[in-house]
Chains A and B, each alone.
Chain A
Amino acid sequence: MLIENYTPFVGRGDVEEIKRLADSIRGAKVLHVNSTMVGGGVAEILHRLVPLMNDVGIDTDWQIFKGDENFFRITKKIHNLLHLPSAEGLDSREILTFHDYTCRNLGAIDTSPYDVVFIHDPQPVGLIIKRGNGQKWIWRCHIDVSTPTESVWRFVQTFSNGYDGSIFHVPEFISADLEIPAFIIPPSIDPLHDKNRDLEEDFVQSVLSRFGVDPDRPIVAQISRFDRLKDPIGLIRAYRIVRKTLDCQLLLAGSFADDDPEAVQVLEEIYAEIGKDPDIRLLNLPANSHLEINAFQRAATVVVQKSVREGFGLVVSEAMWKGKPVIGSYAGGIRRQIINESTGFFVHSIEGSAHRIKQLILNRELLEKMGRNAREQVRHNFLITRHLKDYLMVVKKLLKG
């Protein structure tokens, strides 16, 4: 069985629990619907979770809600307006387009054979119109809607209120006026994914050499999109404070999104801040550079996630899984992943970041102890097996009360 592949990571007990839990709801048919088969965290997790649910005996399908460029422009706008308050709203044309695509997909997606339907994010939320008698529908919201644009949230609520329940990453992401039950299920990483699987030391070394990173000096790394909200400039300044008394390198690695015009500007700002410092490597990698990112995280001495604002920030768990303590800001889901002074440190300033970077580079014992704790934290709370167990629990709760 596929699930058995996870035994080396979580132990026989955990795998057995999942199998027994699945046995208790055997016969249930489950459907997941989202709006893309590739790209983004939701598709990535469904590629892993759907086969696992089938593997443990829950008949699970995955269907795609289809739209065109115009529809996705509108749903991107909805996404942004749910994320932050704005004076802007949806105009009547946009609302009609949203309804139009909902109607088209109502005919294309057959939800009738399923006992439980998971609808991911706002794009397919209108499918709730199809909810049949005895079915249970769950809205899985991957967005922080704690401070939404009121009019857009009201629009989404006309649909979401029809669901039997919802799922959010953390309670802090939930709007105060949500009217349906909400489960809290954080996202997860897959230890078997190229991003996270064990790598041969030779491969790690070859990646460092390919990108001109010195394997013999401490490496401070931040893996993130080129976005001001990730505060790359703040991290460079923290690194410069450290560099005054300590020999080390800074590695900023991320992917460049073609459809993000701001990223070009941010990249230029970072280059300007770096100047001619030969010890800062800024790497703009192709989006599928999973093995390279994996290698950088493994080679790093200290990993930093100095975001000003963050969604869940699973990159923190990815680094922790590799036994790295993470120095992170107290933002979004980072708060949930780092246990302060145990698996890493929370920092609130450039100076605080510099202090903790120095501390971890100089104190090998602390570094290793925190790294061990960090891996354990992920093992127990942020691996896909926990995610699978949570979904099975929700299915059971909905079907059996």
Chain B
Amino acid sequence: MILEQEILANKNEKMKRFIFRSELWVTQYTGIRVDTLSDFRRAIADADDDTLYYHLFRNMFEYHFLIPTYSNSFAYWFSESGRYILAERFSIIDPLAYTSLNDVRREILEILDNAGEERRRFKTPFYFRRAVRDVVELGMEARGLKSFIKCFESSGIYSLFYHLVSARLRLGAPTNDYSEWLRTAGQDGIASQIEALNPWMFDFYEIKRFILNILKNGSEQKG
């Protein structure tokens, strides 16, 4: 529901102003706890999107100040139980390469199917949780590159997550809110450079610094 409203809001705002928003989560336990591979597979097949979203992005959202060893909580669980090959296969899953979480789910199930049926218990159970999400406007909006840079500088890390990361799934395209808006403002070069950033490979403070540099350099070249 939130996503549909966001998409609509996004379309209406194109070519106009950029409203800075931020994404907030609180975690809800789904009540599903598994400790075998076959139960894990069943739970993945049944999990709602908010559950997949939580586990795929949790490391990035909660530990954005670090570059985690593995990219998602599934991989960490496998690693804790000494299933390193599965941990690595899960860690290479890039949900940002997809336009829907269902496609990510298909990739996960394929990896599990190739791993074969197994009833051996894991060292610790996996607790399926979901992200209860909300999006708030930060009361900052940009109508040009200068004001965009100013607002971007003062926005927080969860705003960066919302516009750069979750935007890809929301927009259903390999882009982000910043780049979309920058294109409408005639800043195609800057937009492409931001699109090329890989948020999995750096901590979010670095990502913010990179974007700020891109924006400032672009602004100087134009000016």
Q: Footprint of B on A, CB under 8 Å?
A: 11-14, 16-17, 20-21, 24, 168, 171-172, 174, 176, 178, 181-185, 339, 342, 373, 376-377, 379-381, 389-390, 393-394, 396-397
Enumerate chain A residues within 8 angstroms of B66, measured Cβ to Cβ: 339, 342, 373, 376-377
In chain B, positions 13-49 with a C-beta closer than 8 Å to chain A are 22, 24-29, 31, 33
Enumerate chain A residues within 8 angstroms of B136, measured Cβ to Cβ: 17, 20-21, 24
Enumerate chain A residues within 8 angstroms of B139, measured Cβ to Cβ: 16, 20
What are the 7 closest A-B residue pairs judged by CB atoms, nearest first?
A: A13-B156, A171-B127, A393-B26, A20-B136, A184-B27, A376-B65, A182-B29
Enumerate chain A residues within 8 angstroms of B127, measured Cβ to Cβ: 171-172
Q: Contact between A20 and B26 (Cβ–Cβ < 8 Å)? A: no
- Give, as a whole number of angstroms, the nearest-CB distance from B71 to chain A: 14
Q: Contact between A183 and B27 (Cβ–Cβ < 8 Å)? A: yes
> Given A17-B138, A24-B136, A171-B127: A390 and B26 within 8 A (CB)?
yes
Q: Contact between A14 and B156 (Cβ–Cβ < 8 Å)? A: yes
Most chain A CB atoms below 10 A, which of B65, B155, B159: B65
> Does residue B137 face the partner (Cβ distance < 8 Å to A)?
yes
> Does residue B62 face the partner (Cβ distance < 8 Å to A)?
yes
From A176, A181, A379, give the contact of B28 (CB < 8 A).
A181
- Give, as a whole number of angstroms, the nearest-CB distance from B134 to chain A: 6
Alpha-carbon distance A13/B139, docked complex (angstroms) = 11
- Give, as a whole number of angstroms, the nearest-CB distance from B2 to chain A: 11
Q: Contact between A12 and B65 (Cβ–Cβ < 8 Å)? A: no
Q: Contact between B26 and A397 (Cβ–Cβ < 8 Å)? A: yes
* B-side interface size class: 20 to 34
Q: Contact between B28 and A183 (Cβ–Cβ < 8 Å)? A: yes
> Given A174-B29, A182-B31, A393-B24: A13 and B65 within 8 A (CB)?
no
Provide the main secondary structure of the chain A interface: helix
- Give, as a whole number of angstroms, the nearest-CB distance from A181 to chain B: 6
> Does residue B132 face the partner (Cβ distance < 8 Å to A)?
yes
Q: Contact between A20 and B137 (Cβ–Cβ < 8 Å)? A: yes
> Does residue B163 face the partner (Cβ distance < 8 Å to A)?
no
Q: Contact between B26 and A21 (Cβ–Cβ < 8 Å)? A: no
- Give, as a whole number of angstroms, the nearest-CB distance from A280 to chain B: 34
From B29, B31, B63, give the contact of A183 (CB < 8 A).
B29
Q: Can you report 24 A-B residue pairs in the complex whose CB atoms are below 8 A from each other?
A: A13-B22, A13-B156, A14-B158, A17-B24, A20-B137, A21-B24, A21-B134, A21-B136, A24-B136, A174-B29, A182-B31, A183-B26, A183-B29, A184-B27, A184-B28, A185-B26, A342-B66, A376-B65, A376-B66, A380-B62, A381-B62, A389-B26, A393-B132, A394-B26
> Does residue B12 face the partner (Cβ distance < 8 Å to A)?
no
From A171, A390, A396, give the contact of B129 (CB < 8 A).
A171
- Give, as a whole number of angstroms, the nearest-CB distance from A8 to chain B: 14
> Does residue B64 face the partner (Cβ distance < 8 Å to A)?
yes
Alpha-carbon distance A20/B63, docked complex (angstroms) = 23
- Give, as a whole number of angstroms, the nearest-CB distance from B64 to chain A: 7
